[in-house]
Structure formats: C-alpha cells, structure tokens
Amino acid sequence: FTSFLHLPGASEEVAPPVQQCFMIPKKEINVVSDMAKWKRSQAYADYMGFILTLNEGVRGKKLTCEYKVSEPIEKLVALLNTLDRWIDETPPVDQPSRFGNKAFRTWYAKLDQEAEKLVATVIPKHLADAAPEVAVYLKESVGNSTRIDYGTGHEAAFAAFLCCLCKIGVLRVDDQMAIVFKVFNRYLEVMRKLQKTYRMEPAGSQGVWGLDDFQFLPFIWGSSQLIDHPSLEPRHFVDEKVVNENHKDFMFLECILFITEMKTGPFAEHSNQLWNISAVPSWSKVNQGLIRMYKAEVSTVSRGRLLGLLPSTA
C-alpha cells in the first residue's frame, strides 16, 4: 500500500508486508519538544500523504458520482451504521445541564467494549492480530467520554483509523473515492447525530477564530471537489439558496448547511474564518490555503493524545 501514500495519486498497489508486528498505540507526544519528533516521523509523512492523496482523488468529483464500492468499504459503512443504531438505542437522559448529556458515556462504553469486534468484521482473518491496534483509533474518533466533547483531533483519529486499514492492505488505491464519499461522509453523518443528540461541546475550539467547531477535513476534501466547477465559486457558499440546491453533491456545502442549522445570527459573525474564505478568488486557492492551515494548526497542535498515537503499522 506504500504507493497510495506518495503524491500525486499513485496507481500501483503494493502488497502488505508478509510479516507485520502490531502493538497497542500509546501516547508519544507529552511535551512541546515532542512535536518536532512527530513532524519528522514517518507516521506524520504517511498521515499527511494519505490526506493529500485523497484530496487529489476527489478533485472535481461530486458526492453523487459513480465510483467503485468494494467489500471492505461496505463493511465499514455497516460498522458506522451500527454506531448510528446505538445512538437510537441510547436516548439522552434528563439532567440539569443543557450540554454534555451523560447518555453519551453509556453509548461510548458500548463502543469501548465492542470496538475490537467491530474492527474484526472489516479486516480479513489473517490480519486478526491488527484489530486491537486499529480499534484504538476507532475508539478515539468519536469524542471524549469524560468531557463529552468532540473536535478535529477526534476527526484525525478516524482518518488515522482509515490510514491504518490502508497500510495493512484492507483498503486499496481504487477505494480512494469511496473512502471519502462513502465512508468518511457516513462518519460525518454519525458524528453530527452524536453532536446533536448528546449536545457535545467543541473540543479545543478556537471559537470565532477557528474554521469550524467540530470538523476540518471535509472542508479540505470538499473544496477539492469544487475545483474548476463551471459556476460555483467560493463567494457562493454563503448564499443560502446555493447551499440548499447543491449540498448533496459537495461535502463543503454540506458542512455549511450543518453550521447554519446549528448556529444563529449573521454568518460573518459566528463563522468569521469561513466568511473570509468566501472572498478567495478560486477553489484551488481555497484548497491550498486549507491544507496549509491544517498542517499548521491541526497536525501540529491538535490532540497529541490522538495524533501522537500514530501507528506502528505506519
């Protein structure tokens, strides 16, 4: 799978190593000086390579376009459907506090208990030893059960989860579009349902100075989708009519729709960074700028407890 992680968009598949050693990830970023080690690591290069390869893979493509859906992709969607069903089976509890409904802890406890079994349904039997390692990223990808919050570090853990599946050969080069459009998009739907159902707090949010309270990657991949679009320009995503008419085709606009549903008041006030982005002349420049922003703000400072785990398989 190594070729998948080398830009631009590799076309060859490389068989996974015959012998692989798996281990339970542990936190490696404990102090500020550890960040330099992380930025120099092969894991960091692989993670960013994964993000950027997918960015190229969805360039100019709609969510509704045709693409290959492999058996592992279908199994990942089934896994996410299970998480969705558990939300329905775990309704919010009555409590004095408006935010951070404690029922989330009950939901999370079920995931914590079942994660390895869920992962085992996705990976082939000869890779069963990988399940305990890969499952850690799945558990880290849904939010923090103590604080009942969710943020871009948890999102990064899900990307790391998918990256791990690629590294061990479960997902392949020709799964690129399905990874984003089928799996990651379904993940976003489940996370939004979690956020709304349990009133989860933003984790590490920069408020009005941040891009979004909860997500980052769908803005990167979503802006790539819109590159060279014949009529939609960055200035259009602040137009409610345009968003309503096109959100099912473009991940970026789906994010904007969710923001407008969750927040009140002028868009320029509650989402100032996005408002500023709407003045950028082209989607290509938006995409490039978001990638720089992701490297600077998310990959370097977002949740050392998550990205610092990045994997032995990487």
What is the pLDDT at residue 38? 79
Nearest-angstrom CA–CA distance, 136 and 29: 16
Nearest-angstrom CA–CA distance, 264 and 157: 29
Nearest-angstrom CA–CA distance, 48 and 138: 18
pLDDT tens digits along 200-220 = 998 866 555 568 889 999 999
For the chain, what percent of residues have pLDDT higher than 90? Answer: 69
Do 175 and 72 meet the contact criterion of CB atoms below 8 Å apart?
yes
Res. 299 pLDDT band, cuts 50 70 90? low
Weakest-pLDDT range from 5-19, 158-172, 297-311: 5-19
pLDDT tens digits along 10-34 = 334 444 444 567 878 777 777 777 7
Classified by CATH at the fold level, domain 29-302 comes out as Four Helix Bundle (Hemerythrin (Met), subunit A) (1.20.120)
| Number of helices (H), then strands (E), in the chain | 15, 2
Nearest-angstrom CA–CA distance, 122 and 74: 9
Check residues 27 and 81 and name the one with the higher pLDDT: 81
The SS3 assignment for 149 reads: strand
The owner of tokens 């799945």 is 138
* Distance, CA of 93 to chain centre: 28
Which tokens sit at 7? 């830009």
Look up residue 224 and give its amino acid: S
Would you put residue 136 in left (φ > 0), alpha (ψ -120 to 50) or beta?
alpha
Weakest-pLDDT range from 94-103, 143-152, 154-163: 94-103
Give the global pTM. 0.89
What's the chain's average pLDDT? 87
| 225-232 LR contacts (CB < 8 Å, sep 24+) | 225/58, 225/59, 225/60, 225/61, 225/62, 225/63, 225/249, 225/250, 225/251, 225/252, 226/250, 226/252, 226/283, 227/59, 227/60, 227/282, 227/283, 227/284, 227/287, 228/60, 228/283, 228/284, 229/60, 229/283
DSSP state of 128: G
Instruction: Provide mean pLDDT across the span 73-92.
Output: 98
Weakest-pLDDT range from 63-72, 205-214, 217-226: 205-214
For the chain, what percent of residues have pLDDT higher than 70? Answer: 86
Contacts (Cβ under 8 Å, ≥6 apart) of 49: 4, 5, 6, 7
Instruction: Provide mean pLDDT across the span 134-155.
Output: 94
* Distance, CA of 289 to chain centre: 18
Domain residue extents for the chain: 29-302
pLDDT tens digits along 99-108 = 899 999 999 9
What is the pLDDT at residue 7? 36
Cis-peptide into 266, omega within 30 deg? no
Segment (H or E) for 201? strand 201-202
What is the pLDDT at residue 156? 92
Nearest-angstrom CA–CA distance, 223 and 218: 8
Q: From the CB of residue 216, how many other CB atoms can be counted at a distance below 10 Å?
A: 23
What is the pLDDT at residue 207? 54
Check residues 300 and 108 and name the one with the higher pLDDT: 108
Strand partners, 201: 149
Look up residue 174 and give its amino acid: D
Nearest-angstrom CA–CA distance, 293 and 183: 24
